[in-house]
Amino acid sequence: METGRHRPHGLGSAGLGLHVLLCSSLLLNAVFFTRHFLRASPTTTTPRLGDDGLSWALQAAREAEAVAAADCSGHGSVFLDGVAGEDGKPGCECNSCFSGPDCSVRTRNCTADADSGNPLFLEPYWMRHAAASAVVFSGWHRMSYTTTDGRFHSVELDRHIRRLHRAVGNAVVDDKYLVYGSGSAQLINALVYALSPEGNAASPPASVVATVPYYPVYKSQTVMFDGREYRWAGSTATWANNGSRNSTKDFIEFVTSPNNPDSALRKPVLAGSSAIVDRAYYWPHLTHIPAPADEDVMLFTTSKLSGHAGSRFGWALVRDENVAKRAIFYTEQSIMGASRDTQLRILKILKVILANLHSKEDIFAFGYDVMRSRWRRLNAVVSRSSRISLQKIQPQYCTYFKRTKEPSPAYAWVKCEWEEDVDCYETLLAAGIISRSGTLNEAGARYTRVSLLKTQDDFDVLLERITDFVDAEKHSRAPAGSSSI
Amino acid sequence: METGRHRPHGLGSAGLGLHVLLCSSLLLNAVFFTRHFLRASPTTTTPRLGDDGLSWALQAAREAEAVAAADCSGHGSVFLDGVAGEDGKPGCECNSCFSGPDCSVRTRNCTADADSGNPLFLEPYWMRHAAASAVVFSGWHRMSYTTTDGRFHSVELDRHIRRLHRAVGNAVVDDKYLVYGSGSAQLINALVYALSPEGNAASPPASVVATVPYYPVYKSQTVMFDGREYRWAGSTATWANNGSRNSTKDFIEFVTSPNNPDSALRKPVLAGSSAIVDRAYYWPHLTHIPAPADEDVMLFTTSKLSGHAGSRFGWALVRDENVAKRAIFYTEQSIMGASRDTQLRILKILKVILANLHSKEDIFAFGYDVMRSRWRRLNAVVSRSSRISLQKIQPQYCTYFKRTKEPSPAYAWVKCEWEEDVDCYETLLAAGIISRSGTLNEAGARYTRVSLLKTQDDFDVLLERITDFVDAEKHSRAPAGSSSI
């Protein structure tokens, strides 16, 4: 203002215009300059404001972006807590079958590892939603034992879990209590504890059972904890034909629906038993959703919902108050509740999922596309084989997508059909494929589980090995009955 | 360069100088302008670079800083996952005895809650080290089940835990295996499992014991899990005088050193037993360090080291390979390893602690100052009382500070001295102080534990209530033997 009102000496009108422009320009520079350099300094304990208005969070944001910007050729990632190399910095962690400092070297004739249910097929989704899904933890975030429910459960996370179930239509939540665990894995034993007779020497221990083929951890965990109030009692088949209805009342039956390994929707087999229905895979990217699940005790996990297996977060929906209280008591006694760090991170993840439902960025649409494509490609190859076969899954109407959905299962449940292939795991291993033997599910060695959930690199290598295996059939042995043709 | 070499037309030398200056200035404007406005947009999926070179992490950094900037009058905090109010935003969570939207209203005659061992005395330290201790989680951070050791343990975190023990001199780590747990709480049962006879019907169950006064969770957790391979067998006093040395070989003895509740350094009592030595409080802000601890099985936790109780992270140092393997198997079967989110966060916290050791920003010097001051002030008041007394702690030489250290215990172990005060917990409660009854430690109702670890607000209110209580003694009753004076 001062500049405009006092006419400068010794300059014509062109000079005046220039002068005003120059002053404005210099002033603007000064503003930008100030904002640019008065940013947070990583070494001071009282950071100043930066260009983006950032102070203490700036250094961490830069570190995270610098790490994420590393070039791993699309076949690996760098993580903030990666093992530091000689330069003190973490390097690329390469996907299976890739190596080298930037993961650009493809391993020749690499064995396909299709063992674990590692849900990395969703990693690209989170890279696409980088800005919305990032979270900054301050050093003082939730240091306390207690959080917003006065105990160990985040109230906002509880609300968002319920919102998600309502929006997806995969579970009835209104009449259920929520129990958090360090993964749904922890809740397996928490619920066995909660459903077993309370410390009472007069009651016989509950019998923990499941139907073949079942998820092996139900057995291995129950055997490991080996509490006096329960005992692993094997397959439901032993008991279902027992005839005596009364004998079922002390059973705790694990039901996985859709089932791991074969993706079938299942119901409890033993009438009158306490059922723990594991709904880990009951999301629209991995199965059709016929109706909201409404069992008394249901298990869910972020591993198969959002792909966050490493976070170790799962939850149970429990109808009965006393069962819920006992399960919560278990998680409090054993770990004093699921990590509050993880609860914050998962809250952010659920917010992103909710904000994008039924949009073109819907995580279920994304995941379904990936998994359907993998299933189609695998079937196209295996359909040429007489040596191995896959489980049959029909297209079904899905209430979430409001249309018929093609199969998009998490696993291929492979059967070896040739008589001499008595150990299907070994048969595939000889073909360069690591699977998970059906003996672990009590389904016998004729079956083996092949994971389809992993990275695209993993799937691509798997498909190569399977293709080679099927192509080699005609040289291996003609199947029985066709040898004379 | 162009501008300087080609002389512009129609301007004198003053005008030329202005012109050059203007052009430079406008160019600089353009540079700043571009950098300022081409920053990450929260709504785009392909964020652009911002002023600070930030893209996808910017939105999260802003959210975290906006939340942290809220005014809670120094008597509360806002957290990212706080319960959303009507405006959709989380509000202040006030310290005990404060309320109102900005925590500015002090509750009159507020009851002092000195129950839990919530280590919030360290919260101000992390606020002072905001920039260094913040961590940004990308949406795709460590989605995998496996991390840098090929299983569930971060290799960098392992290295930093060992570095810290070596630098502090509080534990010998070189011949030990590391086992992570979801808090040291989880490792209590993991180690009971690991030290119990392996599933062998021929072996009698191990007897799990501790010396009075002991941390109650050893008992409550052992009773809850109730595995067939072990059994809670009460106080060591029952067995120490047994006479038979051979009978001790099946004991698993919990030893807390410094002890919770009374801060005494302790050793196992039963010769030949398997001892689990809980070293949660063996850090220089809470005790003197006479020498590095070197027991076969030791427990540590971030709760009492850095104050991060809500993160749920603890570790065991284990000498025997088979015991370590069994404990790791337990954590893998039960929760598939401690949250990888928490492992990253704790890595950052340990880096900050390590970088500041023996500097003026040393966390142990900070914590020691706070806790010593609290103990001094409490003692000054209680020394005027004949009704209650505190445990006696002598100043001792500390190898970490390289000087004699005054007492700075986590808890006051209060004894009610008057005959009629048979329940010390009730006596303090009547005086407006919530403590934790010594009956829980099997020490009897004459004793009660008062926590000194909480926020400064908590301590200040506690000291007020204790002062009122001691001041009121002369009106309550003259102590026995002095009634005639």
Which residue in the set B93, B226, B336 is minimally distant from A228, CB to CB?
A: B226
Higher pLDDT, B102 or A483: B102
List pLDDT tens digits, range B157-194: 999 999 999 999 999 999 999 999 999 999 999 999 99
> Is B456 an 8 Å CB contact of chain A?
no
Residue of B nearest to A61 (CA): B57
| Confidence category of residue A50, pLDDT binned at 50, 70, 90 | low
Which residues of chain B neighbour A84 with C-beta distances below 8 Å?
A: 156
Which residue in the set B130, B142, B348 is minimally distant from A47, CB to CB?
A: B130
List pLDDT tens digits, range B58-101: 999 999 999 999 999 999 999 999 999 999 999 999 999 999 99
**Cα A250 to Cα A187, A189, A233, A275, A440, distances in angstroms:** 19, 16, 11, 11, 25
Residue of B nearest to A192 (CA): B225
Residue of B nearest to A200 (CA): B226
Backbone φ and ψ for B254, nearest 5 degrees, come out as: -85, 130
> Is the same domain home to B319 and B349?
yes
Neighbouring-strand partners of residue A227:
B227
A175: burial class by Cβ within 10 Å (0-12, 13-18, 19+)? Answer: exposed
> Is A228 an 8 Å CB contact of chain B?
yes
Residue B430 lies in a domain: yes
> Is the same domain home to A292 and A387?
no
- Answer whether A166's CB lies under 8 Å from A173's CB: yes
Contact A340 B310 (CB under 8 A): yes
How near does any CA of chain B get to the CA of A132, in Å?
A: 7
> Is the same domain home to A372 and A351?
no
Neighbouring-strand partners of residue A278:
A256, A299
Contact B79 A141 (CB under 8 A): yes
List pLDDT tens digits, range B381-392: 999 999 999 999
Q: Tell me the two tokens of residue B369.
A: 């100052």
**CA B223 – CA A232 distance, rounded (Å):** 20
Contact A130 B138 (CB under 8 A): yes
Residue of A nearest to B127 (CA): A140
Residue B238 lies in a domain: yes
| Confidence category of residue B7, pLDDT binned at 50, 70, 90 | very low
pLDDT(A416) > 80: yes
DSSP helix/strand/coil, A78:
coil
- Answer whether B353's CB lies under 8 Å from B164's CB: yes
Output the pLDDT for position A64.
98
> Is A161 an 8 Å CB contact of chain B?
no
Contact B52 A51 (CB under 8 A): yes
DSSP state of B125: H
Residue A372 lies in a domain: yes
Output the pLDDT for position A218.
98
- Answer whether A258's CB lies under 8 Å from A282's CB: yes
Q: Tell me the two tokens of residue A474.
A: 């005609």
> Is the same domain home to A333 and A414?
no
pLDDT(B41) > 80: no
Which residues of chain A neighbour B26 with C-beta distances below 8 Å?
A: 25
pLDDT(B239) > 80: yes
How near does any CA of chain B get to the CA of A291, in Å?
A: 29
Contact B47 A223 (CB under 8 A): no
Q: What is the DSSP string of A453-476?
A: -S-HHHHHHHHHHHHHHHHTHHHH
Pairing between β-strand B177-181 and β-strand B314-318 as defined by DSSP bridges = antiparallel
Neighbouring-strand partners of residue B209:
B253
Q: How many CB atoms lie within 10 A of CB A376?
A: 12
Which residues of chain B neighbour A338 with C-beta distances below 8 Å?
A: 182, 312, 339
How near does any CA of chain B get to the CA of A445, in Å?
A: 24
- Answer whether A193's CB lies under 8 Å from A201's CB: no
| Confidence category of residue A476, pLDDT binned at 50, 70, 90 | confident
3-state helix, strand, coil split of chain A in percent (to 5) is: 40, 15, 45
**CA A233 – CA B355 distance, rounded (Å):** 54
The answer for A 279-338 residues in CB contact with B (under 8 A) is 303, 307-313, 329-330, 333-338
Q: What percentage of chain B carries pLDDT values higher than 70?
A: 85
| Confidence category of residue A106, pLDDT binned at 50, 70, 90 | very high
> Is the same domain home to A352 and A380?
no
> Is the same domain home to A367 and A291?
no
List pLDDT tens digits, range A149-178: 999 999 999 999 999 999 999 999 999 999
Supply the CATH number for residue B370's domain. Answer: 3.90.1150.10
List pLDDT tens digits, range B271-280: 888 999 999 9
Supply the CATH number for residue B316's domain. Answer: 3.40.640.10
The answer for A 102-131 residues in CB contact with B (under 8 A) is 116, 118-120, 122-123, 126-131
Output the pLDDT for position B474.
83
Mean pLDDT check: name the lowest of A186-190, B1-5, B259-263, B311-315.
B1-5
How near does any CA of chain B get to the CA of A283, in Å?
A: 18
Mean pLDDT check: name the lowest of B1-15, B216-230, B291-305.
B1-15
Contact B61 A80 (CB under 8 A): no
Contact A227 B226 (CB under 8 A): yes
| Confidence category of residue A474, pLDDT binned at 50, 70, 90 | confident
pLDDT(B421) > 80: yes
| Confidence category of residue B34, pLDDT binned at 50, 70, 90 | very low
Backbone φ and ψ for B355, nearest 5 degrees, come out as: -65, -20
> Is B49 an 8 Å CB contact of chain A?
no
> Is the same domain home to A432 and A325?
no
Give me the helix-helix angle, B340-356 and A340-356, nearest 10°.
Answer: 130
Contact B59 A134 (CB under 8 A): yes
**CA B449 – CA B116 distance, rounded (Å):** 9
**CA A271 – CA A258 distance, rounded (Å):** 20
Q: Which domain holds residue A208?
A: 155-356
Output the pLDDT for position B476.
74
Contact A138 B141 (CB under 8 A): no
Contact A132 B156 (CB under 8 A): no
pLDDT(B10) > 60: no
Cα A67 to chain centroid, rounded: 23
| Confidence category of residue B120, pLDDT binned at 50, 70, 90 | very high
**CA B195 – CA B324 distance, rounded (Å):** 10
> Is B57 an 8 Å CB contact of chain A?
yes
| Confidence category of residue B9, pLDDT binned at 50, 70, 90 | very low
Mean pLDDT check: name the lowest of A39-48, B255-264, B397-406, B410-419.
A39-48
How many cross-chain Cβ pairs, A to B, lie less than 8 Å apart? 431
- Answer whether A66's CB lies under 8 Å from B57's CB: no
How near does any CA of chain B get to the CA of A176, in Å?
A: 20
> Is A441 an 8 Å CB contact of chain B?
no
Q: Tell me the two tokens of residue B258.
A: 């410094």
Q: Tell me the two tokens of residue A258.
A: 């859709």
Residue at which a domain ends, from A300, A322, A356: A356
> Is the same domain home to A377 and A275?
no
Contact B308 A127 (CB under 8 A): no
Output the pLDDT for position B202.
75
How near does any CA of chain B get to the CA of A420, in Å?
A: 35
DSSP state of A432: T
> Quick one: which H or E segment has residue B448?
strand B447-451
Contact A138 B155 (CB under 8 A): no
Residue B483 lies in a domain: no
- Answer whether B455's CB lies under 8 Å from B120's CB: yes
ipTM reported for the complex surpasses 0.85: yes
Output the pLDDT for position A16.
47
Contact B64 A341 (CB under 8 A): no
Output the pLDDT for position A2.
34
DSSP state of B430: H
**CA B164 – CA B340 distance, rounded (Å):** 20
Output the pLDDT for position B58.
97
Contact B64 A337 (CB under 8 A): no
Q: What is the mean pLDDT of residues B292-306?
A: 98
Q: What is the mean pLDDT of residues B427-445?
A: 98
Residue at which a domain ends, from A308, A330, A356: A356
Give me the helix-helix angle, A13-37 and B13-37, nearest 10°.
Answer: 40
> Is the same domain home to B163 and B229?
yes
Q: Tell me the two tokens of residue A217.
A: 């951890």
pLDDT(A359) > 80: yes
List pLDDT tens digits, range A363-378: 999 999 999 999 999 9
Backbone φ and ψ for B248, nearest 5 degrees, come out as: -80, -10
How near does any CA of chain B get to the CA of A408, in Å?
A: 20
Residue A146 lies in a domain: no
List pLDDT tens digits, range B127-153: 999 999 999 999 999 999 999 999 999
> Is the same domain home to A308 and A200?
yes
Residue type, B130: A
| DSSP H stretches of helix in A100-246 | 123-128, 130-133, 155-168, 183-195, 217-225, 237-240
Output the pLDDT for position B477.
66
Domains in chain B, number? 2
Which residue in the set B139, B333, B340 is minimally distant from A126, CB to CB?
A: B139
> Is the same domain home to A269 and A346?
yes
Residue at which a domain ends, from B319, B337, B356: B356
Higher pLDDT, A49 or B404: B404
Mean pLDDT check: name the lowest of A121-130, B361-370, B475-484.
B475-484
Output the average pLDDT for chain A: 89
Residue A116 lies in a domain: no
Contact A339 B337 (CB under 8 A): no
CB-based contacts of B194, cutoff 8 Å, min separation 6: B318, B323, B324, B326, B327, B330
Give me the numbers of helices (H) and strands (E) for chain B, helices first please. 16, 20
Contact A312 B19 (CB under 8 A): no
> Is A220 an 8 Å CB contact of chain B?
yes
> Is the same domain home to A277 and A341?
yes
Output the average pLDDT for chain B: 89
Which residues of chain B neighbour A161 with C-beta distances below 8 Å?
A: none
Which residue in the set A41, A138, A182 is minimally distant from B335, CB to CB?
A: A182
Residue A291 lies in a domain: yes
Output the pLDDT for position A35.
39
- Answer whether A107's CB lies under 8 Å from B120's CB: no
| Confidence category of residue B15, pLDDT binned at 50, 70, 90 | very low
How near does any CA of chain A get to the CA of B381, in Å?
A: 28
Residue A416 lies in a domain: yes
